[in-house]
Structure 1
Amino acid sequence: MASQYNDSHRLFVQGMLTKRIITEPEAKQLYDQVLEATSLPNNVEYELFISETNKELVELDYALRICHNEREGDPYLTLVNVKQDPMTEDATSFKPAEISYCRELFGAIINADNEEFAISATKALNLGAKITPVKFTQRESQELLNKLVQDKWIAFERKGVYYIDTRALAELQHFFREQYGEAAKECTFCLDIITMGEACTVARCPVRVHKYCADKHFRNTPEPVCPQCATRWSRDKIFGLGLPDNSYSDDESMSD
Structure 2
Amino acid sequence: MSGGLSWRHHVVIQALLSRGPLKERDLHSLFQDITKRNPGTERPLFDGFILKINKALACANFELRGCIDQYDGQVYYGVVNTISDEQSKLGTKYSVPQIAFYKAIIEAIVQDSTANGVVSSIEALNLNLDSQVTIVTDTQSLGSQPSVPSALKNFTLSQKEKTLHELVKDQWLNLTTDGIIKLGLKSFLDLRSWFRNNDVPSCHVCNEAGIKADLCPNENCTVRIHQYCLKQLFLQRKDAKVCPSCGTSWPCTVPKEEFLQAEVDNEPTGRQRATDSKQKRRTANRVVDEEVGCSNQDVLNECRESQRGNRLALKRGRASRNDDAHIGGSGASQSSAAAVPGLGRVTRSSARLM
Shorter-chain-normalised TM-score: which range? 0.7 to 0.9
Match of 1:234 in 2: 251
Match of 2:322 in 1: none
Match of 2:206 in 1: 190
Q: Which moved more, 1:103-112 or 1:168-177?
A: 103-112
5+ residue gaps, structure 2, are 133-148, 254-354
> Which residue of 221, 233, 244 corresponds with 1:217?
233
| CA apart distance, 1:188 | 2.0
> Which residue of 221, 225, 229 corresponds with 1:205?
221
Q: How does 1:101-250 map to 2 (within 5 A)?
A: 101-127=101-127, 130=130, 132-134=149-151, 135-158=154-177, 160-178=179-197, 180-181=198-199, 184-222=200-238, 223-235=240-252
User: Is the alpha carbon distance of 1:78 and 1:188 closer, same or farther for their aligned partners in structure 2, counting shifts above 3 Å?
Assistant: farther
Query: Is the CA contact 2:70–2:226 (under 8 Å) kept in the aligned structure 1?
Result: yes
| CA apart distance, 1:137 | 2.2
CA RMSD of aligned residues (A): 2.9
User: Is the alpha carbon distance of 1:23 and 1:159 closer, same or farther for their aligned partners in structure 2, counting shifts above 3 Å?
Assistant: same
| CA apart distance, 1:128 | 7.0
Q: How does 1:28-39 map to 2 (within 5 A)?
A: 28-31=28-31, 35=34
Query: Is the CA contact 1:120–1:162 (under 8 Å) kept in the aligned structure 2?
Result: yes
Paired letter, 2:250: W
Match of 2:12 in 1: 12
Structure-2-length-normalised TM-score: 0.55
| CA apart distance, 1:73 | 1.0
More strand by share: 1
Q: How does 1:32-71 map to 2 (within 5 A)?
A: 35=34, 42=36, 45-71=45-71
Match of 2:22 in 1: 22
The alignment of Structure 1 onto Structure 2 pairs a total of residues equal to 223
User: Is the alpha carbon distance of 1:48 and 1:59 closer, same or farther for their aligned partners in structure 2, counting shifts above 3 Å?
Assistant: same
Query: Is the CA contact 1:218–1:224 (under 8 Å) kept in the aligned structure 2?
Result: yes
CA–CA distance in structure 2, aligned partners of residues 218 and 61 of structure 1? 40
Paired letter, 1:200: C
CA–CA distance in structure 2, aligned partners of residues 62 and 204 of structure 1? 42
SS at match of 1:218: helix
Q: Which moved more, 1:103-112 or 1:42-51?
A: 42-51
State the identity as a percent: 24
| CA apart distance, 1:67 | 1.5
Structure-1-length-normalised TM-score: 0.73
User: Is the alpha carbon distance of 1:18 and 1:220 closer, same or farther for their aligned partners in structure 2, counting shifts above 3 Å?
Assistant: same
5+ residue gaps, structure 1, are 36-40, 237-256
CA–CA distance in structure 2, aligned partners of residues 218 and 85 of structure 1? 43
Query: Is the CA contact 1:200–1:206 (under 8 Å) kept in the aligned structure 2?
Result: yes
Query: Is the CA contact 2:115–2:213 (under 8 Å) kept in the aligned structure 1?
Result: no
Query: Is the CA contact 1:128–1:137 (under 8 Å) kept in the aligned structure 2?
Result: no
CA–CA distance in structure 1, aligned partners of residues 85 and 231 of structure 2? 32
CA–CA distance in structure 2, aligned partners of residues 48 and 110 of structure 1? 35
Paired letter, 1:109: I
CA–CA distance in structure 1, aligned partners of residues 85 and 232 of structure 2? 31
CA–CA distance in structure 2, aligned partners of residues 150 and 235 of structure 1? 35
User: Is the alpha carbon distance of 1:113 and 1:193 closer, same or farther for their aligned partners in structure 2, counting shifts above 3 Å?
Assistant: closer
Query: Is the CA contact 1:62–1:80 (under 8 Å) kept in the aligned structure 2?
Result: yes
CA–CA distance in structure 2, aligned partners of residues 106 and 77 of structure 1? 21
Paired letter, 1:17: L
